[in-house]
Each structure stands twice: as C-alpha cells, then as structure tokens.
Chain A
Amino acid sequence: DAKTTQPTSMDCAEGRAANLPCNHSTISGNEYVYWYRQIHSQGPQYIIHGLKNNETNEMASLIITEDRKSSTLILPHATLRDTAVYYCIVRGSGGSNYKLTFGKGTLLTVNP
C-alpha cells in the first residue's frame, strides 16, 4: 500500500471548516483513499473513501486532486466532538488488501 504523509497536528475554530491534507504521491491506479478518525480511547471510525472523484457524505467531503497524489478531507462545520486523530490511508482493492495500516495521523483540535 502507498505511504501517506499528514501534518502532525492542526487547530480549527468551532463552526469553521476543517481542511485536513494528505499526500500520497506514490498511489497507484487501483488504490483508494480512505479516511478514518479515532477519538481518544475509542475504536477508529470510518469517515469516507474515494478513488478519483470527489465524494461527500453526511460526515465530510473528500477532495482528490486530478493527479491523485494528494487529497483533502473537509469537515464543513467542525464541532468540539470532532477533536480526534484523523488517519488518511491508501489501500488497494484486491489481493492482500485485507489489513489496514494506520500512520501517525493528524491530531485535529477544535477550539471553542
């Protein structure tokens, strides 16, 4: 699976959009970009994933650049409960894709 690079930490004001970047310059054509988050002492929570098109769901939007070498997770109106570590993962769709490899992620702190 391709390696990802994320900032160690970010801050965001409550009610503002949080934009979390991820670089995955070695991504290959059949690899998806997944985002999970983990609130302290809880299990990881799936947020969203995409292949090449932008995606949106009730939690977030995922913007993937045209060359697919980077992506941005957008939380449109961050709340205090969105404070968590956010993980960007690149993962294939077949073969040995069964395990997830989490990097260090980005600690997002939403401030009142």
Chain B
Amino acid sequence: DVKVTQSSRYLVKRTGEKVFLECVQDMDHENMFWYRQDPGLGLRLIYFSYDVKMKEKGDIPEGYSVSREKKERFSLILESASTNQTSMYLCASSLQTQRGAKTQYFGPGTRLLVL
C-alpha cells in the first residue's frame, strides 16, 4: 500500500511566523505535490516536484516555497504566514512513467489555522 504521511494533522500559528509542513512518501515516487483545499474553491495546486531538487509552480505559489532534498520528502514553507493561508493542506505523490504521471495518492492533510 502507498503511504503518504504529513507531519501534523492540526497546526495553529500566528501571523508572520515561518511555517514548515512536511510530507513523506514510502513508494519511491518521482512526483510530489502540495495542494490546498478551501470550501467552494476545491483543490488548488501550490507547487509540485518531479525529481529531487526540481520544482515547478502550480496555480497559487505566492507566499509559499518548497524544498525537495530527498526523493521521499517534500516540504512546504510558508515564509510569513498570513490569515488567508488558513486552509487544509494536502500532499500527494505519484509515479512517473514514459506514458505520463500515474495515480496520485494523498496524505491525511494538515489543517492550518493562522491567527
């Protein structure tokens, strides 16, 4: 079974704090993703990574950065947390083959509240 884990289920931070969200997958997947999910807005892609040290911006990268130093770990960093970053953050991973990216598997999510 694919396992994607996220460092925290719930997190409360103050405005201006630097926040680190960690994601680890144990299936040797090339691709890893960070999404946020908000009521009425669905899932929105923040960043994704297709290899170690490689990253690409998604639809809403502003205010976020990412780090992928090892294949199994993908970190999302909120440089200076703001209240509009209160959200559910979801990490996912997928295999990459010559025929394209395969099924994405999600972690349990981190519900972040920024006060």
Contact = CB atoms under 8 A, between A and B. Distances in A.
Interface in B75-108: 88, 90, 92, 99-101, 103-108
Mostly helix, strand, loop or mixed at chain B's interface?
Answer: strand
Contacts of A49: 103
A99 B48 contact: yes
Interface in A16-52: 34, 36, 41-46, 49
B31 interface: yes
Q: Quick one: which of A44, A45, A103 has the most chain B CB within 10 A?
A: A44
Given A43-B109, A46-B105, A99 B58 contact: yes
Interface of B: 4, 31, 33, 35, 42-43, 45, 48, 50, 58-59, 88, 90, 92, 99-101, 103-109, 111
16 contacts: A34-B103, A41-B109, A41-B111, A42-B108, A42-B109, A43-B106, A44-B43, A44-B106, A45-B106, A46-B106, A98-B48, A99-B45, A99-B58, A100-B43, A102-B43, A104-B42
